[in-house]
Structure 1
Amino acid sequence: MHSIQLLAQLVKTNINTDSKQRSLDDMIKQKTKKYASTDPRQVKLSESIVKDLIIECGLPVPLIDQNGFKNFMQTVDPI
Structure 2
Amino acid sequence: MDIRIGIQNSPREIGFETSRPAAEIEKAVAAALGGEASYLKLSDDKGKIYIVPVSTIAYVEIGSEESRRVGFVG
- Fold match, TM over 0.5? no
Q: Normalising by the residue count of structure 1, what TM-score does the alignment of the two structures yield?
A: 0.21
Q: Normalising by the residue count of structure 2, what TM-score does the alignment of the two structures yield?
A: 0.23
Q: Name whichever structure is richer in helix by fraction.
A: 1
